[in-house]
Structure formats: C-alpha cells, structure tokens
Structure 1
C-alpha cells in the first residue's frame, strides 16, 4: 500500500458532494472505532455491480489478486443523481473523478460537465444503441431494465464506460452513487458545513426560507420547462470568510448554475470546494469523537450511498487513503465552451483538456498543473 510516514487526515473523495463520508471517518485514534462502524454499514451500501465488466478493454487489464494491496495511482468515479422513483430514468447530475497518486499525499478532483457532448457506446444490458449526446444521459440509457423500471447501479456501468472513453482512463478502481435526497440527511447529521461563498449566487429553486419557489402559470403540473420558477429567491452572498450553511442551503448552493455571469463551470467549482469543506467537517473532532453524531452520519450515508470498491472493501479503502492530506486536495477546472448548431447543443472541452487527460493516464498530473496553473481552481 502507498503510505506516508506522517499520520494525516484521510480522504475519500465525494461526487458530487460527499459520497465518501464513509471513508472519511476512520482517522488517527478513531481508526479502530471507525472500522467497527464501517463494518456495520458495509453490506448496506456496497453494490459490486457498479464496476461490473467495466475494464476497457477487458483483456488489457490484468486480473487482480483478491488479497492484493491497493497499489499505484487510483481513479475513483463519483456520481450524484436525483431520481424521482423506480419508473423515472436517473440522470447523472454531478460527475466527479478523483485521481489519487501512488504516494497518497494528495488528490486531484475534476468534473465532467453534465451537458458535455460525448459518444455514448451501445450497451447490451439495457438494449440501447450508440448515441452522441450529453454525458448525463449515459446513466439514463444504461439504467433501463426489461420490466420497465430503472437501475442506477446498472446505469453507472454505462456512464463509467462513457467517461473512460472520453478521458482515456482505462478503469476506475472504485465508484459511488449518491442520491441527492439522502445527501441532505448526511449534511444534517454533520450539523451543516462551513465554506467560503466565492460569488453572489441566486437560487433557481428556493425562496429565502427554503420553501420551493412558485412556478409560472405555463409550467404548472409538468417538467417540460427548463426554468419554470418565478418570484423571490434565496441569495448566497459572496464572503471572504467561511459561512455555515444548513443542509438544505448546502444542497441548494452546489446545484446552482444560472444567474448573472454564472455557468455550469461555476457550479462544478462550488461542488469541488464543497467536497473539501465536507471532508474537513467530517474530520473535525466535533464529528469523529462524537459517537452519536458519527452514527447519525453513517445511518444517513447508508440510506443514500451505493459503493463499489472493486475487489476491496470499504475498510480496505478507508485504511489505504488515511495518509491523504485534505489540505493538499487540488480541485481542477477543465475549460470548455458551449456547442451550438442551430441552437445550444451542450458543452465541449477546449483541446488542451485532452493534454490534461493524458497527464492523468501517465500519472504526471502534478507536473502538468505546474506548467498549466490556469487549470487549478482557487478555493476562495
């Protein structure tokens, strides 16, 4: 295992917003207690089918010894979804890749824009053909079951293949899906989160008291309007100092992408900043030394998280990543622009993003970012 001689706070990167809370808890003196709690919830959250048949191509990836350590650099795929029910196809609203070098001293997070236009391959399990469309549709395509219902775990497999094809990452070593509804319970159990608000943000969805905004008369009773809301809005004011957000505020803030001068790239940055803030909150003494609060966090995560660690358990991953320093986590921005052809079609990356993906596959991200500091997000 890649280890540091110095004990540092552990890291499990979350997609979209804290899927890895389960792997954040066991640090320092709390490792043994954390292992006991993680063991209790492992069967509840683990679904090994997330990474089933993912290797691309399968013959290019040597089989792993089930008792082998987690060696070398690892790549984790973290996805946030907001499914309404089993009869509605889930869309990948947040797609985050965490690249952790072999030395385990740092981690690099980058997001795939939900509207990124990509080639989605055909998928036998769902009976869907190949298509070129927005990447968030990959999970919806892949999730289709023969009985008319939908499986996010099956959809994750097609999304993973799609992300792999676009980035050149041959395989993901672990993956997680977080249901945004359940995520709110996680933040509530942690007592909220403190983070810097780096720009004025108006909520598209909520009023100042957290209640839903009114819908326009033309958008009542259906979901066919892209921006159906009207009336007073919750506002998150720019602040140079960390602001404590309640659970509903945190979830609302990291989902915003509309407003003056705001794009989906701002939303991606806010989600990545939030991951770091949540990691620090999870590692605070207020959480890890409080059995009641820690148990509440794990209960909430068990209701909202689906995890697959390949051949390795949650405990294996928690132990492996305990040397990663949260303060050394780097959030990466991938520059892009809108794609237009008779109207807005989605997003596309600038050509230099492919150079970054090559650096990821060749395990030289640190040197790439030294040469291209414009790819590094400022945390505010």
Structure 2
C-alpha cells in the first residue's frame, strides 16, 4: 500500500471507530478485527461476524446515551425484555390541553431518578407494575433528555427536585412531590406544563442500581478539583482523580450537605457521574470484556423501567439511530437558576423564568445546538470542573 493509500485507510478506520459500526443486517466487512493487512493483494481482512449489534441508552439512556454493545440477535430481545415497562406513564388530559408535538424536532425523554424502586421491582419478582406506589416515594432527580432529530447531539437538563411549581390538582409544591402524588403520569404532566415541551418517553431510574452498573463497567474515573471537607454526615473528598467503584460513586452522587449550593451542586455531580459512566461504557476495555459486557446488560435491566410505548424493537431502533453519537455531542446542564426562597417553612428553588423559556423553546423546536452556542458558558451548563 502506498503512503497515500495507507493514510486514507487509516482515516477510514478512524471514521469507523464506532461501537455501532455494523450494517442493519449485522455483518461487518470481511477481514480481521485489528485491520492488519493479510498480504493478499493489500486487502484489509476483518473477521466476519454474523452478530447483531445491541445498543443501550441510559440516557443514558442516557448515561449510556452513546453506549453500544455487540451481541447475538437473541440477546437483543432477552435483555430488552428485562427492562420493566410502566403502564399509564402519560397524562390522560385531552390532547389539546397538552403541548403539541413539533414534527421533525427530535425525541424528548423525561428521566426520573429514585433512591429506591417499588417493592415489586426490588424483590426480584416479575415486575409488571410501575416503579411507583401512591405516597411511597418522591422522585430524587428529574432530567429532561432531548435527542436531536439528526441524532448527532443530545442535551440532558436537570430540574432541581425542590423547584417550586404548579402540580395539577394539588396547587403549588416542590416538583418532586408530583411523583409521590400521581406517579409518572402526574410528573409528566407537571413537567410538560412547566416547560411547554411534549414528553415522548419516560424512563425511571433506580440510583441504587447504579452501584451494580458502575461495577459492571469496572468503575469510573471522577476528578474532584478541590478538597471538600466532611460536614455532618458528608464525607471528605480529597482533590484529585478518584477511580470509584459502585458504592463510592453512589456516595458521590447522593451527597449534598457538604456542597455550597446543595441540590444544585448535587445535580451537577449526578451529571458528572453520568458523563464518566458514558465514557467508560464506550471504552474498549468494557466492550471487549465478555464478563463486563454481560454484567452491563444485566445491570441496565435492573436499573431502569421505561414507558410501555417502547417495545423491544423500538428500543433497538432508537439505540441503532444513536450509533453516531459521541460523548462530546452530549451536553449537560441545569434548568436556569432563579434563586432560593422559603415558602411555608420549606426551602425551595426558583427558576429564572425568562431564561428557562428560551431554553425550553430551544428544546421544543430542536435548536439546542444554536442555544448552546450562545448560552453554553453559563454557570447552569456542566463544565469540566465539578466539585
């Protein structure tokens, strides 16, 4: 191979460094996995694989938004079936009283994070009920995940759990109360009313389950820019890069008492963890290790439930459409912060309504790339340095 051809071939390989580089039929180009010339006419040989590609998003999935896994075709249905489905996840209010879907404007998920799922889901029994019991739990985390129509970018927007909002049928309250009172359907209605964005799908995530997910990928690397002294029940975190196992990562994302901005900083930690998990999931050391791969697939089913509008085929098709998405195409942010307040003795978070309207309009009309070009350096956007 002459130098020019060698450079072109190398560039082609860089272009195809995708975990999802398989044709829909599941076969890869002929040749070996390393792309080493086989000496026969200068052709590059790659091992023929007759396996389908299974791609999981957490958010991940968003956390696994860009994660992909190669497996046998039957594995797709097997592991997709392990993801619990939530019936009745959407409001029953008339369609004309809900935000109207904008054609060709991408897909929007509501991600609800809990510290524990319902007893049905945590016992290990067949869980066909939604991960919710009336009054039993409040959502710990709410995130709006918008994936662009061209599937080249995604934005994950956290809404602080103490955000003061109108909850339909209940008046003013903290947004996390909506889940306790009415489960996913009331939470969806509350978020739609707040944002004016139509929610296409729902995923309920068990934060406790992220312990197994983190361990399944071999842990994650998280850098803490400055030492944070222990305060009360909060542990001390020393400055530097920490390779965290599942238990340590769970402490990291749950903690808020040692952070200057409480839940706002906590949501940034959660986003920082999801970013690290996404990067680690895409690492060859994870995807090339059969034991890790199996553990990862199993953990995904243990860690989340999705609305029953998402069939196994829908999950696969959605994941396949995200095969070109990369970590640097996923942006994390908080909903624009408008200040803290106290209402009837409760500490609450207020949104900057004007700034939030600009953000939600960008989500609704699939203009997040333009929005981030203008607003991507605000304190609401997750940077590289996270306390």
- TM score, norm. by length of structure 2: 0.72
Aligned to 1:293: 292
> Structure 1 residue 356: deviation in Å?
1.2
C-alpha spacing 1:113/1:260, structure 2 compared with 1 (3 Å): closer
Aligned to 1:151: none
Aligned to 1:145: none
1:22-66 per-residue CA deviation (whole Å, 9 max, x = no partner) reads 765435xx3xx1754332122221415264446873687899xxx
1:71-114 per-residue CA deviation (whole Å, 9 max, x = no partner) reads 64111111110237647612110111111111211111110000
Alignment partner of 1:92: what SS?
Answer: coil
- Partners of 1:164 and 1:34 in 2: how far apart? 39
Aligned to 1:279: 278
After TM superposition, the runs of 4+ consecutive aligned structure 1 residues lying more than 6 A away are 59-63
Is 1:135 the counterpart of 2:172? The answer is no
Is 1:354 the counterpart of 2:381? The answer is no
C-alpha spacing 1:159/1:52, structure 2 compared with 1 (3 Å): closer
Aligned to 1:178: 205
- Partners of 1:166 and 1:115 in 2: how far apart? 14
C-alpha spacing 1:22/1:330, structure 2 compared with 1 (3 Å): closer
CA contact (8 A) 1:51 1:310 kept: no
Counterpart among 365, 375, 381 of residue 376 in structure 1: 381
- Partners of 1:26 and 1:35 in 2: how far apart? 14
Give the number of aligned pairs. 316
- Partners of 2:217 and 2:352 in 1: how far apart? 38
Alignment partner of 1:194: what SS?
Answer: strand
- Partners of 1:190 and 1:54 in 2: how far apart? 39
Alignment partner of 2:82: what SS?
Answer: helix
Superposition pairs for residues 225-236 of structure 1, below 5 Å? Answer: 234-236=235-237
- Partners of 1:118 and 1:89 in 2: how far apart? 21
Alignment partner of 1:96: what SS?
Answer: strand
Alignment partner of 1:139: what SS?
Answer: helix
Aligned to 1:74: 107
Superposition pairs for residues 200-349 of structure 1, below 5 Å? Answer: 200-201=227-228, 234-239=235-240, 242-259=241-258, 261-308=260-307, 310-312=309-311, 313-333=314-334, 334-341=336-343, 343-349=345-351
Q: Which has the higher contact order (CA 8 A, sep 6+)?
A: 1
Identify which range, 6-15 or 38-47, moves more after superposition: 6-15
CA contact (8 A) 1:44 1:302 kept: yes
> Structure 1 residue 365: deviation in Å?
1.8
Identify which range, 338-347 or 81-90, moves more after superposition: 81-90
- Partners of 1:6 and 1:72 in 2: how far apart? 27
C-alpha spacing 1:62/1:164, structure 2 compared with 1 (3 Å): closer
C-alpha spacing 1:6/1:169, structure 2 compared with 1 (3 Å): farther
Alignment partner of 1:133: what SS?
Answer: strand
- Partners of 1:35 and 1:97 in 2: how far apart? 31
- Partners of 2:85 and 2:191 in 1: how far apart? 20
Aligned to 2:157: 110
Is 1:89 the counterpart of 2:122? The answer is no
CA contact (8 A) 1:24 1:283 kept: yes
Aligned to 2:95: 57
C-alpha spacing 1:336/1:203, structure 2 compared with 1 (3 Å): farther
Q: Which has the larger Rg?
A: 2
Alignment partner of 1:196: what SS?
Answer: strand
Gaps of 5+ in 2: 1-14, 21-54, 120-132
> Structure 1 residue 167: deviation in Å?
0.9
- TM score, norm. by length of structure 1: 0.73
1:283-335 per-residue CA deviation (whole Å, 9 max, x = no partner) reads 11111122221111222222231123735522122111112111221112322
Alignment partner of 1:275: what SS?
Answer: helix
